[in-house]
Amino acid sequence: MTPRSILVAARLLTDATAPLINDAVVCAEGDTITYAGPRSSAPSWASTAEAVTDLGDTTLMPGLIDCHVHLCLDPASDADLNEMSSDHEALRRLMVANAGRLLDAGVTTARDLGSPGTLGTEVRDLLVTLPHATPRMLVANAPITVTRGHCWSMGGIADGVDEVRAQVRRHADQGVDLIKVMATGGFMTPGSHPSEARYTVEELSALVAEAHASDLPVTSHVLGTEGIERAVLAGVDCLEHCGWVTRTGTQYDPSIAAMIIERGVAVSPAMNTACTTEHYMCPWDERDAVVGNLRRLIALGAIIAAGTDAGIPMVHFERYVDCLDTFIDAGMSPRQAIASATEVAARVCRLEDVTGRLRPGLSADLIAVDGDPTQNIAALENPRFVMASGRPHEVRVRNADLDTGDAVARDRIRRNLEAGAGRHNKAPTS
């Protein structure tokens, strides 16, 4: 007989736009929600079931989604990506451990956008066999990149149209869920030139066409403004970072932004702990400029999906809410931020019929938090209860510091990243 779960809480938020329901119940059979609503209208068997979890004065809501993580990275390390470990067994263990840390943050679904070789698909398939709760993972395996380009050490090198097409086919054969392409360099790969486009529009268009022929969406790492434009012209489905980076700072381009909106390209800005006021160490410009550029996209109505780049230095998997805090600083309301972390992210991940809301027939991915997150997003910082695909996860107490380092350490990392990228001048704001 399929096990039944009955969760009772003081409040229920079925999706980001729904009114709060008081004295609520969520029922699930196995990994599927069968009811979510007022206790007074719950199925009769819910009131007599033995396995009832009373979550008390909490708000039940959909599990969170992180559209950009790197399970193979250790946030406590400041090594650059030219120094990837070749010990795949150790990396596999780290990736499984980091998946558990996602659940501690209430993240029940995530996209892994870069790991060496086929580790992404291997770990994704391993997680579903484990006897305990694990997050749902969508994986890209090694990002496709030019020779010595960003994340080249992960193994997805392809130069020119023919190699790009072949690499996409190779990834499709590996069973990836999406294609990740490095359209510009990155700060964590010294010498890869974050401000510069690394693929032509022709090459990116060939990559997108090949991926879409295999029904694989394409997301593109884009920091430099020219790379953003080329990726949008080529028809990618999502932009990671969308940083508007130049050699000396950032330069938002309204015409490119308008094209992003017109073509319905999603943006996962990868905001995180490094973007917060307290811990700011973003290497491409001052905080007012970085948040201001995002504010302009939000004001235009861009599709913004939550993603953190968790795994890079000082960006811990457990500190997911730092992303949403930054979204609110950039002009979102708490409900908009919740949407970016749930139903909007689910659509970007092509999982809107699976997760992102609490509805009968969808996956039992949910969290319970103190307070009312529609009024204060900080309510999401320490989930009281997490369930992924119908399996409860025992949330570990979060370390308050999570090794974000002191100001000196953050400044050292930022200067190292800037120097590695060839950026030495003070950035202008725009």
Could you tell me the mean pLDDT of each successive run of 10 residues in the chain, 430 residues long? 89 98 96 96 77 94 98 87 81 97 98 98 98 98 97 96 98 98 94 95 98 98 98 98 95 98 98 94 93 98 98 95 98 98 98 98 98 97 97 85 74 76 50
387 shares a domain with 343:
no
Let me know if residue 215 belongs to a domain: yes
pTM to 2 decimals?
Answer: 0.95
Q: Is residue 80 part of a domain?
A: yes
Tell me, yes or no, whether 289 lies in a domain.
yes
Q: Which domain holds residue 163?
A: 64-356+409-417
My answer on whether 321 and 367 are in the same domain is no
Burial class (CB in 10 A: 0-12, 13-18, 19+), 73: buried
The H-or-E segment that residue 347 falls in is helix 343-348
Q: Is residue 423 part of a domain?
A: no
What is the reported pLDDT for 424?
A: 54
The CATH number for 382's domain is 2.30.40.10
Q: Are residues 308 and 351 in the same domain?
A: yes
For 105, phi then psi, to 5°, come to -90, 0
For residues 211 and 238, membership in a common domain is answered with yes
Same domain, 177 and 118: yes
Q: Which of 55, 12, 39, 2 is nearest to 386 (CA)?
A: 55
Give the model's pLDDT for residue 419: 74
On whether residue 428 sits in a domain, the answer given is: no
Q: What is the CATH number of the domain that holds 82?
A: 3.20.20.140
Let me know if residue 399 belongs to a domain. no
Clarify whether residues 249 and 266 are in a common domain: yes
**Shared-domain flag, residues 140 and 43:** no
Neighbours of 28 (CB within 10 A): 26
Asked whether residue 181 falls in the same domain as residue 233, the answer is: yes
77 and 186 both lie in a single domain: yes
Domain count, the chain: 2
Q: Which of 325, 319, 327 is nearest to 303 (CA)?
A: 327
136 and 56 within one domain:
no
Residues with Cβ within 8 Å of residue 121, at least 6 apart in sequence: 139, 141, 174, 175, 176
Please indicate, yes or no, whether residues 271 and 215 belong to a single structural domain of this protein: yes
Q: Is residue 45 a part of any domain in this protein?
A: yes
Name residue, tokens 């908009």.
336
Residue 193 and residue 188: Cα distance in Å, rounded?
10
User: Looking at the domain assignment, is residue 212 inside a domain?
Assistant: yes
CB 267 within 8 A of CB 302: yes
**Do 370 and 336 share a domain, yes or no?**
no
Q: With beta carbons less than 8 A apart as the criterion, state whether 217 and 350 touch.
A: yes
Pairing of strands 4-12, 58-62: parallel
Q: What is the pLDDT of residue 428?
A: 37
Q: What is the pLDDT of residue 84?
A: 72
